[in-house]
């Protein structure tokens, strides 16, 4: 006598011909959780850990299915736990679905009849690629839904309905997002960066709705910052950054397919590369100068930009430079990232990619020597650096970028692979135990000796352990 309805993202993704990962089932016509648990027990292990939120989990082998009775929610406090959940097996589907965020997420699939239940026009919105909220009051009860709108619009390439965009703007302006813990915000950012083919669409919405200005000023500061049109005809730093993160997303997707087969590309590595590109020019608002032909130099004011025009009081043509923006961008990157997560090691792993993102092009132009490449490998993973630099290069509208080929990156990677330092620094040929084997007594001098030998390795003057031992005997034993 019960009615099982598949709900939420599973129905949306199936209709959109996307892979379905999580199955959520609402069961109508069941009196209480005990009756539902009794019904499910013959099929697998029933976990009641989510009972207070109205959910039971059915575990069958390695698969987990969420079963719930229809429910309503009422806001009683701040945060995602500040809701009073009322479970009622007699509710109709439309009443239970009204608590959901968007019409495309309020679809149901009646498992027995094969019917799609669509009380709010979600199928029509999906066909028109429109993201529309269901109810003003219930939507505003959970401010995380503003970020969900951002990442859904980008992931599914949807246009946000006018009334939904207006509500999101009002919520941001009213400070509704202040209550969100960074962990929940970070999860939505990760979905945007990892699942959207064009993450720029989500960041453009964040800028339009006031999110970047209010919560991520380091990112918002990129807007209107001018660039040299010779190298950046696409526009200001914001435009360039958006093109670059889309380029990185495509590079990652291309890298994830080898000879037609999908290969593993770790999520953490993807995130590191995406954040590195997102933050690679955060130093430009701090380092950019406008240099006029009459010798006048004006620094761009970080976070308080005024649009610079050739129609100035001097009437003089000008050039734009951003010398040192790589180093200048490290502190803004830390500030932005710590507002999202406290993963210190992860944040620190991003910084070298930002500090050295110009090196591939610079080294290629200079014809850098092997020693310079070996030293670069000590500071940063060259393989990852080339990907970041390539995304930076492709995030432009120059004729060279439009070819899709980044010659500097190809050159650097080829040279680094020949030197065996493309994804790790050169190994130390000798260690402390080797010095002890030579009869030397451990002392602070050990560090100086090992550093000296390693410097000679990087310069190519010592190429084998035998050479290293001979050098140590001559320099540090014979002379002493």
Any bridge partners for residue 74, and if so which?
84
Q: What is the dihedral of CA 224, 228, 234, 239, to 10 degrees?
A: -30
On whether the CB atoms of residues 350 and 336 are closer than 8 A, the answer is no
DSSP state at residue 51: G
Alpha helices by DSSP H, listed for 25-178, are 33-40, 93-97, 122-127, 136-140, 144-155, 162-173
CB 450 within 8 A of CB 431: yes
Residue 477 pLDDT = 78
Q: Which helix (H) or strand (E) holds 250?
A: helix 237-255
**Lookup result for tokens 């709108």:** 149
3-class DSSP state for residue 443?
coil
- DSSP 8-state class, residue 69: -
Exposed (0-12), middle (13-18) or buried (19+): which is 410, by Cβ within 10 Å? Answer: middle
Q: Is residue 64 helix, strand or coil? A: strand
Q: Let me know: does 170 contact 164? Beta carbons within 8 Å.
A: no
Give Cα separations from 342 to 188, 214, 339, 346, 427 (angstroms). 16, 20, 8, 9, 31
Nearest CA to 69 out of 82, 83, 86, 84 is that of 86
Contacts of residue 295, Cβ cutoff 8 Å, sequence gap at least 6: none
Strands 261-262 and 257-258: antiparallel
d(CA 218, CA 331): 10
Rounded to whole angstroms, how far apart are CA atoms 380 and 435? Answer: 28
Buried/exposed 115-136: b ≥16 CB within 10 Å, e otherwise: eebbbbebbebbeeebbbbbee
Give the dihedral sign, CA 352/356/357/359: negative
Long-range contacts of 438-447 (CB under 8 A, 24+ apart): 438/469, 438/472, 438/473, 438/477, 439/477, 440/476, 440/477, 445/476
Ordered by where they begin, the domains of the chain are 3-121 (3.30.460.10), 237-418 (no CATH), 432-478 (no CATH)
Provide the strand spans (E) within 315-375.
318-321
Q: Walk along the chain (480 residues) and give the pLDDT tens digit of each residue.
A: 789 999 989 999 999 999 988 899 999 988 888 888 898 999 999 988 767 667 899 999 888 999 988 877 666 566 555 556 677 778 889 999 998 999 999 999 999 999 999 999 999 999 999 999 999 999 999 999 999 999 999 999 999 999 999 999 999 999 999 999 999 999 999 999 999 999 999 999 999 999 999 999 999 999 989 998 889 999 999 999 999 999 999 999 987 655 556 667 899 999 999 999 999 999 999 999 888 777 777 887 643 445 444 444 445 567 889 999 999 999 999 999 999 999 999 999 999 999 999 999 999 999 999 999 999 999 999 999 999 999 999 999 999 999 999 999 999 999 999 999 999 999 999 999 999 999 999 999 999 999 999 999 999 999 999 999 999 998 887 655
Q: How far is CA 281 from CA 21, 51, 302, 329, 398, in A?
A: 36, 47, 13, 6, 18
Query: How much is the pLDDT for 122?
Result: 97
The pLDDT assigned to 313 comes to: 43
Q: HEC string of 148-196?
A: HHHHHHHHCCCEECHHHHHHHHHHHHCCHHHHCCHHHHHHHHHHHHHHC
> Quick one: pLDDT at residue 114?
94
What integer pLDDT is reported at residue 303 of this predicted model?
39
| pTM for the structure as a whole | 0.90
Pairing of strands 23-28, 63-68: parallel
């Amino acid at each position: 006598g019960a009615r099982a309805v598949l709900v939420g993202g599973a129905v949306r993704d199936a209709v959109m011909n996307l892979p379905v990962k999580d199955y959520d089932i609402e069961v109508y016509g069941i009196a209480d959780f005990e009756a539902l648990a009794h019904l499910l027990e013959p099929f697998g292990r029933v976990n009641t850990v989510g009972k207070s939120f109205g959910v039971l989990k059915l575990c069958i082998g390695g698969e987990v299915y969420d079963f719930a009775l229809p429910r309503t929610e009422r806001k009683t406090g701040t945060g995602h736990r500040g809701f009073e959940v009322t479970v009622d097996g007699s509710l109709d589907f439309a009443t239970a679905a009204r608590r959901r965020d968007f019409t495309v997420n309020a679809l149901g699939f009646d498992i027995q009849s094969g019917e799609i239940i669509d009380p709010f026009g979600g199928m029509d919105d999906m066909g028109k690629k429109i993201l529309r909220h269901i109810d003003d009051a219930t939507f505003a009860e959970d401010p995380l839904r503003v970020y969900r709108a951002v990442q859904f619009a980008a992931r599914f390439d949807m246009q946000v309905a006018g009334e939904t965009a207006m509500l999101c703007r009002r919520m941001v302006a009213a400070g509704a997002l202040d209550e969100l813990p960074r962990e929940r915000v970070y999860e939505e950012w990760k979905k945007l960066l990892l699942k959207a083919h064009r993450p720029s669409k989500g960041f453009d919405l964040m800028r339009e709705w006031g999110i970047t200005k209010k919560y991520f000023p380091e990112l918002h500061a990129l807007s209107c910052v001018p660039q040299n049109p010779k190298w950046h005809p696409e526009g200001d730093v914001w435009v360039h950054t958006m093109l670059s993160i889309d380029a990185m997303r495509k590079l990652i997707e291309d890298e994830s397919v080898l000879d037609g087969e999908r290969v593993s590309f770790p999520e953490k590595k993807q995130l590191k590369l995406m954040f590195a590109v997102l933050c690679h020019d955060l130093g430009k608002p701090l380092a950019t100068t406008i240099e006029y032909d009459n010798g006048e130099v004006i620094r761009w004011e970080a976070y308080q930009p005024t649009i610079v025009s050739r129609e100035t009081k001097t009437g003089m043509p000008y050039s734009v430079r951003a010398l040192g923006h790589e180093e200048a961008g490290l502190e803004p990157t830390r500030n932005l990232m710590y507002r999202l997560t406290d993963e210190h090691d992860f944040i620190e792993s991003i910084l070298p990619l930002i500090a050295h993102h110009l090196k591939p092009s610079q080294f290629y132009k200079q014809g850098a020597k092997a020693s310079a490449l070996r030293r670069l490998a000590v500071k940063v993973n060259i393989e990852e650096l080339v990907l970041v630099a390539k995304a930076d290069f492709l995030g432009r509208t120059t004729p060279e970028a439009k070819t899709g080929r980044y010659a500097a990156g190809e050159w650097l990677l080829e040279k680094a692979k020949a030197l065996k330092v493309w994804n790790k620094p050169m190994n130390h040929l000798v260690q402390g135990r080797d010095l002890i084997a030579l009869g030397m007594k451990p002392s602070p001098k050990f560090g100086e000796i090992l550093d000296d030998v390693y410097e000679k390795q990087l310069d190519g003057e010592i190429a084998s352990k035998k050479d290293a031992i001979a050098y140590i005997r001559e320099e540090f034993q014979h002379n002493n």
